[in-house]
Amino acid sequence: MTEFWPALSMATFFPLIGAIGILTIRGTEEEVARNARWTALWVSLITFIISLFLWIDFDASQAGFQFVERNDWMPELNITYHMGIDGISMFFVLLSTFLTPICVLASWEAIKTNVKEYMISFLILETMMVGMFCALDFVLFYIFFEGVLIPMFLIIGVWGGPRRVYAAFKFFLYTLLGSVLMLLAILTMYFEANTTDIPTLMGFGFSADLQIWLWLACFASFAVKVPMWPVHTWLPDAHVEAPTAGSVILAGVLLKMGAYGFLRFSIPMMPLASEFFTPLIFTLSIIAVIYTSLVALAQEDMKKLIAYSSVAHMGIVTVGVFAMNQQAVQGAIVQMLSHGVVSAALFLCVGVVYDRIHSRDISSYGGLVNRMPKYSLVFMLFMLASIGLPGTSGFVGEFLVLVGLFQVNTLVATLAATGMFLGVAYMLYLYRRVIFGKLTKEELFTILDLDRREIAIFAPLVLVVLWMGIFPNSFLDPIDASVARLIENYHFALATGEGVSDVLSATLLAGAQR
């Protein structure tokens, strides 16, 4: 089916066309708002359907890139418009297109001002996200990667909470500083390899000492995005101040950009440096897992708590990615997908009560189960999925990462498991304080349970979480071949290439002799 039309370009640019369509809506403020909402919903749903075809037509047995499109773009620099997906990126495209309609629905009533502009920002954001996961040219990737900043900056800044200006600036400048360094790495690669084509660069084999610099420059960018400790501080601010749907996209998709970058660029293009820096990644990730879990335990603000839990979960992902064996990497990818859905859902859960009470403080809630049984059930499911209860999506990812990690480094695996234990503590603690107990607060006496729109938002998320937990193979199979090839190439490069540590010690030796 998809061989007849450029599926990836359609999935990428259809939201943009929709955004232009919304731009032309005229009429009274109310009409504009209503039409903008419906257009955005339909456009994002159609995009989701287009991306479903990608999954259906995806050939899981093939490790290479599929649905490849290639056109001249800047021929004098040998930069092409090159799109394609493999097992690693396919589900991220789906995750982006899946979450966007949910975000549109979640903003249905919460956003009352500038609805048109809001929906345009979201659709442009979707274009950037999908394009980024599909791009097979480094410059193209970079354009999408940075382009995400523009709509996200506006979403946080215009529709955010009281400290939105600070949060938006911090988000923007932090991520920008990381990415410009990556730009220099891209240019350096370009002059080494004379191309920015990602598949070509993957097999190029940069010299070991160059790899170190390239890796560090890319690390600056990806580590901020992940975010890894200690550059995670923008995340709690951005999450707390962003509107609910902004947090959903931020946690659901944008955080995956960093880890995706490691998988797509750092490891295949700079395998020697990746091996050299693995202890650094392990250390930072373990600190992130344990430290941010402890920080989360002390939070009074629900969104902040979930934000810190995101940092901890992404720590598990990064150790998994750099453990570099089949289970761990596959686990890391599944963990990212799971976290994308679960943390998005948790933010939506916070959004539900925030829309009613306009407070994110844990202390202003309590005993919600008495008035909101459906809500409590949904919240519980996602809370348990976040903890990693068997049968939910969270379990599959964490389990696979730990299994893989155990073979590589027992100590790191043990410490990571400790972090998960702390995760149980803060999530249960949160749940107890918000949901259980006596309903004593006056403003909660009249609080209403989920309405139909909110059920429509949560139903697909619940389904996906359970599906991933019960039949993980439908997600693991398409990933399998691409990850296997990634790992094979990585170990091959390590076996044939002169290790970075050899080069470094040789350089140091030469320096000492001089």
CB of 173 to other proteins, least distance (A): 6
CA dist 375 and 359 (Å) reads 17
CB of 145 to other proteins, least distance (A): 8
Nearer to other proteins, 143 or 297 (CB): 143
Nearer to other proteins, 176 or 466 (CB): 176
3-state DSSP call for residue 490?
Answer: helix
Nearest to 413 by CA among 294, 441, 421, 190: 421
CB of 143 to other proteins, least distance (A): 4
Nearer to other proteins, 176 or 439 (CB): 176
Interior/surface letters 298-332, b for 16+ CB within 10 angstroms, e for the rest: ebebbbbbbbbbbbbbbbbbbbbbbbbbbbbbbbb
Interior/surface letters 150-166, b for 16+ CB within 10 angstroms, e for the rest: ebbbbbbbbbbeeebee
Cis before residue 230, ω within 30 degrees of 0?
A: yes
Radius of gyration of the chain (CA): 22
CB of 405 to other proteins, least distance (A): 35
Nearer to other proteins, 217 or 328 (CB): 217
Nearer to other proteins, 122 or 153 (CB): 153
CB of 181 to other proteins, least distance (A): 7
CA dist 313 and 336 (Å) reads 8
Nearer to other proteins, 145 or 395 (CB): 145
Q: Where are the beta strands (DSSP E) in 126-252?
A: none
Nearer to other proteins, 4 or 191 (CB): 191
CB of 244 to other proteins, least distance (A): 18
* Amino acid letter, 271: P
First to last CA, the chain: 65
CB of 180 to other proteins, least distance (A): 4
CA dist 186 and 137 (Å) reads 10
CB of 398 to other proteins, least distance (A): 36
| C-beta separation of 83 from 9 below 8 A | yes
| C-beta separation of 479 from 88 below 8 A | yes
Kindly write down the DSSP assignment for every residue of 284-331, as one continuous string.
Answer: HHHHHHHHHHHHHHT-SBHHHHHHHHHHHHHHHHHHHHHH-SHHHHHH
- Strand (E) or helix (H) holding 373: helix 373-387
Nearer to other proteins, 65 or 142 (CB): 142
Q: Give me 465's structure tokens.
A: 């979480």
* Amino acid letter, 175: T
3-state DSSP call for residue 416?
Answer: helix
The residues that bridge with 70 in the sheet, in sequence order, are 82
Nearer to other proteins, 240 or 401 (CB): 240
CB of 209 to other proteins, least distance (A): 14
Q: Interface with other proteins by CB under 8 A: which residues?
A: 73-77, 114, 117, 139, 142-144, 146-147, 149-150, 153-154, 157-158, 164-165, 168-169, 172-173, 176-177, 180-181, 183-184, 187-188, 190-191
CB of 75 to other proteins, least distance (A): 7
Tracing tokens 């493999």 back to the chain, one arrives at 86
CA dist 42 and 49 (Å) reads 10
Nearer to other proteins, 142 or 458 (CB): 142
